[in-house]
Amino acid sequence: MAAGIEEFTTLSIQSGIFIRGLDFSDPLAIAQAIRRAAGGVFDGQPGVFPVPPNAPANVPRIVLADKAKRYQCKVSVERVDIAYDGSKGKPGEIGIIWDEFSGVIRQLAEYLKKKNPTRVWRLGLVVHLFKVLERSANLHILEKYLRDERFREPHELHLSVLNKEQMGQFNINRWLKLRPMRKTDDPQDDRGLAVEVDINTPAEENNDFAEEQVTDFFERAYQHIATQDMLLVETE
Protein backbone atom coordinates (compact mmCIF):
# COMPACT_ATOMS: atom_id res chain seq x y z
CA MET A 1 0.00 0.00 0.00
CA ALA A 2 1.37 3.42 -0.94
CA ALA A 3 2.20 5.78 1.91
CA GLY A 4 1.12 9.39 2.28
CA ILE A 5 3.89 11.93 2.79
CA GLU A 6 2.30 13.03 6.08
CA GLU A 7 3.03 9.55 7.52
CA PHE A 8 6.77 10.28 7.41
CA THR A 9 9.08 12.31 9.59
CA THR A 10 10.89 15.03 7.65
CA LEU A 11 14.64 14.54 8.06
CA SER A 12 15.64 17.39 5.78
CA ILE A 13 14.68 19.56 2.82
CA GLN A 14 17.34 21.04 0.55
CA SER A 15 16.96 23.42 -2.36
CA GLY A 16 19.66 24.37 -4.81
CA ILE A 17 19.55 27.49 -6.97
CA PHE A 18 22.46 27.43 -9.41
CA ILE A 19 23.60 30.91 -10.37
CA ARG A 20 26.01 32.83 -12.58
CA GLY A 21 27.10 36.43 -12.32
CA LEU A 22 26.23 37.33 -8.72
CA ASP A 23 28.22 40.43 -7.75
CA PHE A 24 30.34 39.52 -4.71
CA SER A 25 32.08 42.88 -4.42
CA ASP A 26 30.22 43.46 -1.11
CA PRO A 27 29.40 40.04 0.43
CA LEU A 28 28.27 41.58 3.73
CA ALA A 29 25.63 43.59 1.87
CA ILE A 30 24.45 40.40 0.14
CA ALA A 31 24.20 38.62 3.50
CA GLN A 32 22.20 41.47 5.01
CA ALA A 33 19.93 41.71 1.97
CA ILE A 34 19.13 37.98 2.03
CA ARG A 35 18.41 38.14 5.78
CA ARG A 36 15.97 41.00 5.20
CA ALA A 37 14.38 39.26 2.22
CA ALA A 38 13.84 36.07 4.23
CA GLY A 39 11.73 37.93 6.74
CA GLY A 40 13.74 37.19 9.87
CA VAL A 41 14.13 33.43 9.39
CA PHE A 42 17.93 33.70 9.50
CA ASP A 43 18.17 35.39 12.88
CA GLY A 44 21.50 33.86 13.88
CA GLN A 45 24.90 35.47 13.54
CA PRO A 46 25.76 35.73 9.81
CA GLY A 47 29.04 34.31 8.57
CA VAL A 48 30.89 36.13 5.78
CA PHE A 49 34.17 34.47 4.86
CA PRO A 50 37.14 35.84 2.93
CA VAL A 51 37.89 33.47 0.08
CA PRO A 52 41.11 33.50 -2.00
CA PRO A 53 40.63 34.40 -5.68
CA ASN A 54 41.66 30.88 -6.76
CA ALA A 55 39.23 29.12 -4.40
CA PRO A 56 36.78 26.63 -5.96
CA ALA A 57 33.48 28.19 -7.04
CA ASN A 58 31.48 25.94 -4.72
CA VAL A 59 33.16 27.20 -1.52
CA PRO A 60 30.56 29.13 0.55
CA ARG A 61 31.30 32.80 0.97
CA ILE A 62 28.20 33.48 3.07
CA VAL A 63 26.51 31.23 5.64
CA LEU A 64 23.27 32.27 7.32
CA ALA A 65 21.25 30.32 9.88
CA ASP A 66 18.54 30.71 12.46
CA LYS A 67 19.36 30.55 16.16
CA ALA A 68 17.93 27.04 16.46
CA LYS A 69 20.07 25.84 13.49
CA ARG A 70 17.00 24.45 11.70
CA TYR A 71 17.40 26.65 8.64
CA GLN A 72 20.60 27.43 6.81
CA CYS A 73 21.53 29.36 3.69
CA LYS A 74 24.89 28.97 1.97
CA VAL A 75 25.93 31.27 -0.85
CA SER A 76 28.84 30.54 -3.16
CA VAL A 77 29.82 31.89 -6.56
CA GLU A 78 27.91 29.11 -8.30
CA ARG A 79 24.87 28.38 -6.13
CA VAL A 80 22.58 29.38 -3.29
CA ASP A 81 21.46 26.52 -1.02
CA ILE A 82 18.59 26.64 1.46
CA ALA A 83 18.35 23.72 3.88
CA TYR A 84 15.98 22.62 6.64
CA ASP A 85 17.28 20.20 9.30
CA GLY A 86 14.50 18.18 10.90
CA SER A 87 16.77 16.83 13.64
CA LYS A 88 16.81 20.20 15.37
CA GLY A 89 13.88 20.57 17.75
CA LYS A 90 10.50 18.87 17.71
CA PRO A 91 9.52 17.32 14.34
CA GLY A 92 6.80 19.24 12.54
CA GLU A 93 4.24 18.43 9.88
CA ILE A 94 5.78 18.59 6.44
CA GLY A 95 2.99 20.76 5.05
CA ILE A 96 3.68 23.44 7.66
CA ILE A 97 7.44 23.12 7.18
CA TRP A 98 7.05 23.46 3.43
CA ASP A 99 4.92 26.60 3.72
CA GLU A 100 7.72 28.35 5.62
CA PHE A 101 10.49 26.87 3.47
CA SER A 102 8.83 27.84 0.20
CA GLY A 103 8.23 31.34 1.55
CA VAL A 104 11.98 31.77 1.97
CA ILE A 105 12.53 30.52 -1.59
CA ARG A 106 10.01 33.02 -2.97
CA GLN A 107 11.77 35.91 -1.26
CA LEU A 108 15.16 34.65 -2.38
CA ALA A 109 13.96 34.35 -5.98
CA GLU A 110 12.78 37.96 -5.89
CA TYR A 111 16.15 39.08 -4.53
CA LEU A 112 18.15 37.17 -7.17
CA LYS A 113 16.04 38.25 -10.14
CA LYS A 114 14.98 41.79 -9.20
CA LYS A 115 17.05 43.29 -6.41
CA ASN A 116 20.42 41.84 -7.43
CA PRO A 117 19.82 40.55 -10.98
CA THR A 118 21.53 37.19 -11.35
CA ARG A 119 21.29 34.42 -13.89
CA VAL A 120 19.57 31.30 -12.51
CA TRP A 121 20.35 28.40 -14.81
CA ARG A 122 19.56 25.26 -12.82
CA LEU A 123 17.25 24.25 -9.94
CA GLY A 124 16.98 21.30 -7.59
CA LEU A 125 14.95 20.08 -4.61
CA VAL A 126 15.82 17.14 -2.35
CA VAL A 127 13.50 15.83 0.38
CA HIS A 128 14.59 13.21 2.93
CA LEU A 129 11.86 11.35 4.81
CA PHE A 130 11.83 8.60 7.45
CA LYS A 131 9.40 6.06 8.82
CA VAL A 132 9.64 3.08 11.17
CA LEU A 133 8.04 0.01 9.60
CA GLU A 134 6.48 -2.98 11.31
CA ARG A 135 9.26 -5.24 10.02
CA SER A 136 12.79 -5.17 8.59
CA ALA A 137 13.16 -2.45 5.95
CA ASN A 138 15.68 -4.63 4.09
CA LEU A 139 13.15 -7.44 3.85
CA HIS A 140 10.42 -4.98 2.93
CA ILE A 141 12.41 -3.51 0.02
CA LEU A 142 13.35 -7.00 -1.15
CA GLU A 143 9.81 -8.36 -1.18
CA LYS A 144 8.04 -5.26 -2.47
CA TYR A 145 10.45 -4.23 -5.22
CA LEU A 146 12.69 -7.22 -6.06
CA ARG A 147 10.46 -10.25 -6.40
CA ASP A 148 13.29 -12.66 -7.10
CA GLU A 149 15.07 -15.42 -5.19
CA ARG A 150 18.63 -14.40 -6.06
CA PHE A 151 18.92 -11.66 -3.43
CA ARG A 152 17.75 -13.59 -0.36
CA GLU A 153 18.68 -12.32 3.11
CA PRO A 154 20.70 -9.21 2.21
CA HIS A 155 22.37 -7.39 5.09
CA GLU A 156 21.89 -4.05 3.33
CA LEU A 157 19.70 -3.30 0.33
CA HIS A 158 19.37 0.10 -1.35
CA LEU A 159 17.09 0.97 -4.25
CA SER A 160 17.78 3.93 -6.57
CA VAL A 161 15.66 4.78 -9.60
CA LEU A 162 16.22 7.64 -12.06
CA ASN A 163 13.43 8.92 -14.28
CA LYS A 164 13.76 11.67 -16.88
CA GLU A 165 10.41 13.31 -17.45
CA GLN A 166 8.43 16.51 -17.96
CA MET A 167 7.09 18.52 -15.03
CA GLY A 168 5.02 21.37 -16.40
CA GLN A 169 7.41 23.54 -18.42
CA PHE A 170 10.49 21.87 -16.93
CA ASN A 171 12.55 18.91 -18.09
CA ILE A 172 13.59 17.09 -14.93
CA ASN A 173 15.66 14.28 -13.52
CA ARG A 174 13.86 12.54 -10.69
CA TRP A 175 15.81 10.23 -8.38
CA LEU A 176 13.86 8.06 -5.94
CA LYS A 177 16.04 6.31 -3.37
CA LEU A 178 15.01 3.86 -0.65
CA ARG A 179 17.36 2.54 2.00
CA PRO A 180 17.06 0.88 5.42
CA MET A 181 18.24 2.55 8.61
CA ARG A 182 19.39 0.68 11.71
CA LYS A 183 19.05 1.84 15.31
CA THR A 184 22.36 3.05 16.66
CA ASP A 185 21.95 1.26 19.98
CA ASP A 186 20.49 -1.90 18.41
CA PRO A 187 21.99 -2.59 14.95
CA GLN A 188 19.81 -5.66 14.52
CA ASP A 189 16.75 -3.41 14.38
CA ASP A 190 16.56 -2.30 10.74
CA ARG A 191 12.90 -1.28 10.62
CA GLY A 192 13.73 2.31 9.68
CA LEU A 193 13.00 3.23 6.06
CA ALA A 194 14.63 6.34 4.59
CA VAL A 195 13.16 7.85 1.43
CA GLU A 196 14.99 10.42 -0.67
CA VAL A 197 13.45 12.17 -3.65
CA ASP A 198 15.68 14.44 -5.72
CA ILE A 199 14.14 16.52 -8.53
CA ASN A 200 16.43 18.73 -10.59
CA THR A 201 16.71 20.33 -13.99
CA PRO A 202 19.39 18.81 -16.28
CA ALA A 203 22.91 20.21 -16.00
CA GLU A 204 23.28 20.14 -19.78
CA GLU A 205 20.51 22.70 -20.27
CA ASN A 206 21.55 26.36 -20.48
CA ASN A 207 18.55 28.07 -18.87
CA ASP A 208 17.94 31.57 -17.61
CA PHE A 209 14.93 31.15 -15.32
CA ALA A 210 12.71 34.12 -14.46
CA GLU A 211 11.54 34.78 -10.91
CA GLU A 212 8.15 33.18 -11.57
CA GLN A 213 9.79 30.09 -13.05
CA VAL A 214 11.99 29.64 -9.98
CA THR A 215 9.04 29.68 -7.59
CA ASP A 216 6.94 27.56 -9.96
CA PHE A 217 9.63 24.88 -10.14
CA PHE A 218 9.84 24.43 -6.38
CA GLU A 219 6.07 24.34 -5.88
CA ARG A 220 5.68 21.81 -8.68
CA ALA A 221 8.60 19.73 -7.37
CA TYR A 222 7.14 19.55 -3.87
CA GLN A 223 3.71 18.58 -5.19
CA HIS A 224 5.33 15.99 -7.47
CA ILE A 225 7.04 14.43 -4.45
CA ALA A 226 4.01 14.62 -2.18
CA THR A 227 1.65 13.04 -4.70
CA GLN A 228 3.19 11.19 -7.63
CA ASP A 229 6.45 10.01 -6.09
CA MET A 230 5.00 8.89 -2.78
CA LEU A 231 2.62 6.63 -4.70
CA LEU A 232 5.69 4.55 -5.54
CA VAL A 233 6.66 4.09 -1.88
CA GLU A 234 5.01 1.11 -0.19
CA THR A 235 5.19 0.78 3.59
CA GLU A 236 2.81 -2.11 4.27
What are the pLDDT digits (tens) for 26-75? 999 999 999 999 888 999 988 999 888 788 888 999 999 999 999 999 99
Closest CA to 17 of 96, 104, 85, 95: 104
Residues 6+ apart with CB under 8 A from 76: 57, 58, 59, 60, 61
Range of lowest pLDDT (35-49, 118-132, 141-155): 141-155
Q: What is the mean pLDDT of residues 135-139?
A: 91
- Better-scored residue on pLDDT, 92 or 173: 173
What average pLDDT does the structure give for the chain? 92
| Segments forming the whole domain that contains residue 73 | 5-232
State which H helix or E strand residue 12 sits in: strand 9-20
Q: Is the pLDDT of residue 1 over 70?
A: no
pLDDT higher than threshold 90 for residue 2: no
The count of structural domains within the chain is 1
Residue 9: what are its φ and ψ, rounded to 5°?
Answer: -85, 135
Res 95: pLDDT: 93
pLDDT at position 148: 64
pLDDT at residue 121 is higher than 90: yes
